[in-house]
Chains A and B, each alone.
Chain A
Amino acid sequence: MDLSYSDEQKQIKEGVERFVREQYAFDTRRKIAGSEKGWLPENWAKFAELGWLGMSFSEADGGFGGGAIETMIAMEAFGSGLVLEPYLPTVVMGGGLLAAGGSAAQKEALLAPMIAGEKQFAVAYVEKQARFNLADVAVVAKKDGAGYAISGHKGVVYNAASADTIFVTARTSGGQRDEKGITVFAVDAKSAGITRRDYPTQDALRASELTFDNVKVGADSVVGKVDDGHALFEGVIDRSIVALCAEAVGCMDAINKATLEYIKTRKQFGVPIGKFQVLQHRMVDCFTNAQEARSMTLMAALKIDDADATVRKKAASGAKVQIGKSGKFCGQSAVQMHGGMGVTDELSVSHYFKRLTMIETLFGNQQHHLSRYANLSVAA
C-alpha cells in the first residue's frame, strides 16, 4: 500500500500547477472567458506539447501509459485556477469513449489527432426528460442504407461550438428507457442537419443545445457495438465523475485558502474576524470537508478501473456524493464569511462558488448518486 505520487506524477503536478499559477491569474481568466471561443488555442497547444492530452491513455492508444491518477492530478490543478480549456469534454469524455470503445480506425482518425492537440470533442447525451438517467434516450438513430440517420434534441452540450467531433448517444432499438438499444456515434460536427444554439454557462464555460434533423452517419461512426452502448457510456461517465471530483477538490482548496486569508485580514470590532470562534469552527469544517472530498476522490481514482462494475459504480457515486456535500458547504461558507464581498463579481470567491454549484449537478447530483450508491451497496 503506497498512496504517494511517483516521480513522473510529481512532475506532472508541478507542471500543471505552474501553468495555472503563471497563466491563469484571475484577471487573465476573465479575459479568456470573454474571448471568442471561451478558451485559448495557445494554451491548448501547450497542453499537447507538454503531453497532458495524452498522458492518461495507454501507449497502444498513442498515449503515455498513465491513467485515472494522472487525470486527477491535472483536473485538481485546473480546478484550483478555474481553467476554461475543454479538457473534460475533449480528453476525459470524448477521449475516454474512444479509448474504451473505439475501433483501431477510430483511434487513428480521432484519438491520435486529439492527443496531438488537433481535434476537439463534445459529448451530447443530456435529454431534458431523462434528468440523470443515462438510459433514458429519446434521440433516435434509424437504419439508413449502410449507415444511420440521427434525429432528436440534446441539451447542455459542453464545448459543442469548438468540437470537431460530437459523440452522441442515440436509440437504435428498444423502449425509451431500456439500457439495451443505445448506441454511441461519433458524428462530424459539421454534418448537415445539426443545428446549434450556443450559450455561456453560469460558470463561464460554453455549451449548446443541439438539434439533429436526419443527420446521416456511416456504419463506421458507431463507437463500440450497436445497441450495446449503455455500459460503455456509463463507464466513461463514471470515469469522468472522478475527473470532475478532482476539479472540485482544486476549487475547494482554492476557495478555502481565499477565505482563510480573508478572515485573517478583514477587521471588525477592532480585531480580525478570524478571531471569532464561530468563524474559526466554520473554517475548520470547511477544511474538514475539503479533506474528505480529497480522500473520496483518491479512493475513486484508485478503484475506477476495477474489473467489478459494482466496485467502480460505488466508487464514482460515493465520491460524487461527497463532492456535492463538501462543495456546497465550502462554497456557501466562503461566500458567507466574505460577507457582501462574497456575492460580488469582483472577487474570485463567487466564481469558484458558481463552478462548484454547477459541478454538483453535472453527471448527476448528490441525491441521484446517493440513491445509486444505496441501491448498489445497501440492498445488495
Chain B
Amino acid sequence: MDLAFTKEDIAFRDEVRDFVAKNLPKDIADKVAGGKHLERDDYMRWQQALGRQGWLVYTWPKKHGGPGWTITQRYIFENTCAEMNAPSIIPFGSKMVGPVIYTFGNDEQKQRFLPDIRESSVWWCQGYSEPGSGSDLASLRTKAVREGDHYIVNGSKTWNTMGHWADWIFCLVRTNPEAKQQEGISFLLIDMKTPGITVKPIIMADGGHEVNEVFFDNVRVPAENLVGKEGEGWTYAKFLLANERLGIAAIPQSKRGVEGLKQMAKSERDGAGKTLIDDASFREKIADLEIQVTALEYTELRALSAMAAGGAPGPEVSFLKIRGSEIQQRITELAVEAVGYYAMPYQPALLWHGANEEPIGPDYAHLAAPRYFNVRKTSIYGGSNEIQKNVISKMVLGL
C-alpha cells in the first residue's frame, strides 16, 4: 500500500502541467480563478486545445480515439487541470453521448459523430428532464413517431444545460406509448438547427442563464439518428449516468474552494479587532469542511485504486455525488457567512470578465450569494440526492 505516485506518474503529471501552462489561455484561467462566467468561446478554445492533443476524451479507450489512460493518470489529469484553473470540461459530448455512441451506435454513427466530439468542433447538450418528468424520468412524454425515414418529434425538454450554445442534442423520446414505461423509450440524436426547435432561456436565482426549455414542434429527425435499438433508450440512459458518476463529486474544485474560504477569512474582520480566521468557531467550521473534503477524496482514491486493480468501482462511489454536492454547497454557505453584509449588493455585471463597474464591497464578496444560490442545484441535478439514496438503498443495501 503506497500513497506515493510512481516515477512514471510524476513524469505524466509534469507533462500535463507543461501542456496546461502552454495551452490554457491566460484570460480563461483568470476568469476561472476569479469565479467569472465563461463564454461558449472560452470553453471551446480550451476543449479544442485538449482535442488537438488527443486529451479531451481522456476517459475513452484507445480503439475509439482516446488516450487509453490508467485510472491514476485520469485522476492526475483532472486534479492538475483544476489546480491550474482550467475550465471544467463540458461533459455532454465527451463523457455522455460519446461513450453511448461508441458502445451502442453503428459504424456510420461512430464515423460521423465521434471525430467532432474528440476535437470539440460540435457542442452537444442533453434532452432528458421534462416539465412533468424530473426524478421520475421514465415517465417522460416527448413523442417520436416513425414516418417513413423520419421520426416526427413533439414535446418539450427542460433544465437543458447550455442548449443555447449547442449544435446537437441527445434526447430520450417515447417511441412506443403502449409499452411498459421504461421499454417505450428510445435514444435519438437531433441537430439543433432542425426546423421546429425553439430554445427558451430559464433565468436562475443568481440572475444567470445556463439552462433552457427546449420545445419540439413536428421536428423531423432522420431515422438513421436513432442510437441502438428502438425501445432500448432507457438502458443507454442508465449506462450514461453510471459513466458520469465518477468525477461528479468535484473534489479538486472543492479543495480550491476551501483554500478560497481561508483567504476570505484572513481578510474579513471579526468585529473584535481581529480577522475572522482568529475566531475559533469560524475556524472550526472551515476545519470541519476540510475534513469532509479529505474523507471524500480518500473515498474516491479507494474507489480508483479498486478500479485500477481491475475491480468494480464498488458501492462507495454511489455516495460520492451526495457528499460532493453537499460539500460544494457548504463552501458557498460559509462564503456568505464570511462576507457578512457585503453579500447583499447585487452586481451581476461583475460576474462577467472585463466589467468596468467598481465592486461595492471586497472584490470577492459580490460572488458569495450568487454562488450560494447557484450551487443549490448540485443536490438536485444528476439525480437528486434523495433519488441517489433510493438507488443506494436498493442496489447496495438490498432494501
* Residues on A facing B (Cβ under 8 Å): 1-6, 9, 69, 260, 263-264, 274-275, 277, 280-281, 283-285, 287-288, 291-296, 298-299, 302-303, 318, 321-322, 370-371, 373-375, 377-379
Contact = CB atoms under 8 A, between A and B. Distances in A.
Given A292-B323, A299-B298, A318-B291, A1 B397 contact: no
Interface string B285-304: 01110111011111101100
B297 to A, nearest CB: 8
A1 to B, nearest CB: 5
B57 to A, nearest CB: 23
Residues of A contacting B: mostly: helix
B287 A370 contact: yes
B2 A379 contact: no
Interface stretch (B25-33, B106-114, B384-392): B384-392
Contacts of B1: 2-6, 9, 69, 302
Contact of B299 (A69, A260, A281, A295): A295
Given A287-B396, A377-B287, A3 B305 contact: yes
B358 to A, nearest CB: 31
Interface stretch (B158-166, B276-284, B340-348): B276-284
B37 interface: no
A2 B305 contact: yes
Contact of B398 (A264, A291, A302): A264
Nearest to A9: B1
Nearest to A2: B2
Contacts of B397: 260, 280, 283-284, 287
Interface stretch (B3-11, B47-55, B88-96): B3-11
B399 interface: yes
A311 to B, nearest CB: 11
Contacts of A284: 319, 389, 392-393, 397
A293 B296 CA distance: 10
A298 B287 contact: no
Contacts of B355: none
Most buried by B among A260, A284, A375: A284
Contacts of A295: 295-299, 301-302
A378 to B, nearest CB: 5
Most buried by A among B280, B298, B390: B298
B181 interface: no
Nearest to A296: B295
B305 A280 contact: no
A375 B281 CA distance: 11
B291 A277 contact: no
Contacts of A379: 277-278, 283
Contacts of A298: 298, 302
A253 to B, nearest CB: 13
Given A4-B1, A280-B399, A378 B283 contact: yes
A3 B4 CA distance: 10
Contact of B283 (A285, A296, A374): A374
B72 interface: yes
A373 B302 contact: no
Contacts of A69: 1
A299 B292 CA distance: 12
B399 A1 contact: no
B291 A373 contact: yes
B269 interface: no
B392 A1 contact: no
B389 A280 contact: yes
Contacts of B72: 1
Contacts of A294: 302
7 contacts: A1-B9, A4-B305, A4-B306, A287-B319, A299-B295, A370-B284, A371-B280
Contacts of B265: 378
B17 interface: no
B312 interface: no
B323 A296 contact: no
B316 interface: yes
B158 to A, nearest CB: 26
B339 interface: no
A1 B390 CA distance: 33
B309 A4 contact: yes
Nearest to A72: B1
A373 to B, nearest CB: 5
Contacts of A1: 2-6, 9, 72, 75, 301, 305
B322 interface: yes
B318 to A, nearest CB: 9
A281 B389 contact: yes
B284 A371 contact: yes
B383 to A, nearest CB: 14
Contacts of B376: none
Contacts of B283: 374-375, 378-379
Nearest to A306: B3
Given A2-B305, A260-B399, A284-B389, 16 more contacts: A1-B72, A1-B305, A4-B1, A4-B305, A4-B306, A264-B398, A280-B390, A284-B392, A292-B292, A293-B295, A296-B294, A299-B294, A303-B3, A318-B294, A370-B284, A373-B290
Contacts of B150: none
B134 to A, nearest CB: 17
B262 interface: yes
Contacts of B315: 287
Contact of A274 (B319, B323, B389, B399): B399
A373 B389 contact: no
A349 B277 CA distance: 41
